[in-house]
């Protein structure tokens, strides 16, 4: 375990660190509560051993601040054991009311120290497993089940955040709407299972295009999402005009190059997409008109013959 020892007496801290190191734990030291809070925010430990009476900030105040910080984080809780000079019932009550989980005498016998650390190690392991499970659940909740791209709910949330950030920076903002050409005809001929396979392949090409476009001036905040049905959206925060144009053309080319057989798609004979885009030179005002413009240009691209992008 990673254990943060918060103790203003160097000799006591050194002895405790040596004892815990001998048990195989990694320790770090903080000489008062304020330093402990800063260390906790920088690199959260698996366990905190907190002295109570310290200069600058005592253990109770430090614990309150750590708990407040945890309330903003996904992992949410780290065990805190107060170090006391005497293990009385009154100390236990005070420690728990302050946000601690247990208390322990600074002169705790070796057998008791080992037992407590074993219990804390089990808790740390459970927390780690729970954090991994929560991350997987969160990722699943944000992903479209068919294509693996961001889903509509997550896209709406992230677009608002990216737009607000672009407004603060007075930066440009672009988005692209994509629609698979004659997809109903594809489903009618090949069946819905093949239709799903087609959408998955196209989504993969879209994601790969966005990911490999960083060299063209696309920021790491760019992402692709399934907008609904056979329609997709690519969001390009802070994209320059050349980057915006490059990605639009690259998306059309990437999907066509998949070579997915589609005899009913006019003269192309393979699956293609039409793309409509809109770009704000400086993000300002409402985001809705940008989506409206991109959607209008998408249908203009279809009217012009499909398998192309209309971005201005």
Q: Which residues are catalytic?
A: 230
Classify 138 as helix, strand or coil: helix
Q: Report the run of H or E that residue 136 belongs to, with start and end.
A: helix 110-142
- For 119-137, give one letter per residue: b (16+ CB within 10 A) or e: ebbebbeebeeeeeeeeee
For tokens 């294509």, name the residue.
147
How far is CA 217 from each of CA 30, 225, 246, rounded to the nearest angstrom?
Answer: 43, 20, 9
DSSP one-letter code for 82: E
52 neighbors 97 (Cβ within 8 angstroms): no
d(CA 301, CA 307): 8
User: Which residues, other chains included, contact 117 with Cβ-Cβ below 8 Å and sequence gap of 6+?
Assistant: 1, 20, 23, 25
- C-alpha to C-alpha distance for 135 and 145, rounded to whole angstroms: 16
Burial class (CB in 10 A: 0-12, 13-18, 19+), 57: middle
Distance from C-alpha of 281 to C-alpha of 132, rounded to nearest angstrom: 40
DSSP assigned state of 215: G
Answer whether 301's CB lies under 8 Å from 255's CB. no
């Amino acid at each position: 375990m990673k254990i943060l020892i918060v103790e203003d007496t160097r000799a006591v801290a050194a002895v405790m660190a040596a004892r815990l190191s001998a048990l195989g734990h990694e320790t770090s030291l903080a000489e008062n509560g304020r330093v402990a809070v800063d260390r906790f925010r920088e690199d959260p430990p698996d366990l905190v051993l907190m002295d109570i009476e310290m200069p600058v900030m005592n253990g109770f105040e430090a614990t309150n601040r750590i708990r407040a910080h945890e309330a903003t984080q996904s992992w949410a809780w780290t065990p805190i054991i107060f170090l006391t000079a005497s293990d009385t019932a009154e100390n236990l009550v005070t420690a728990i009311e302050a946000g601690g989980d247990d208390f322990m005498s600074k002169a705790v016998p070796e057998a008791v120290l080992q037992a407590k650390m074993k219990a804390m190690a089990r808790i740390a392991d459970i927390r780690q497993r729970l954090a991994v499970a929560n991350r997987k659940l969160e990722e699943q909740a944000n992903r479209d089940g068919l294509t693996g791209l961001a889903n509509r709910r997550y896209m709406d949330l992230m677009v608002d955040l990216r737009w607000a950030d672009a407004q603060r920076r007075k930066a440009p903002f672009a988005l692209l709407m994509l629609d698979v050409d004659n997809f109903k005809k594809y489903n009618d001929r090949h069946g819905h299972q093949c239709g799903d396979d087609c959408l998955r392949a196209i989504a993969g090409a879209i994601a790969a295009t966005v990911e490999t476009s960083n060299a063209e001036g696309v920021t790491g905040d760019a992402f692709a999402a399934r907008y609904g049905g056979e329609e997709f959206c690519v969001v390009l925060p802070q994209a320059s005009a050349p980057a915006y144009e490059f990605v639009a053309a690259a998306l059309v080319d990437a999907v066509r190059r998949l070579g997915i057989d589609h005899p009913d798609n006019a003269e192309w004979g393979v699956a293609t997409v039409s793309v409509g885009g809109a770009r704000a030179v400086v993000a300002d005002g409402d985001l809705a008109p940008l989506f409206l413009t991109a959607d209008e240009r998408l249908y203009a691209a279809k009217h012009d013959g499909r398998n192309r992008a209309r971005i201005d």
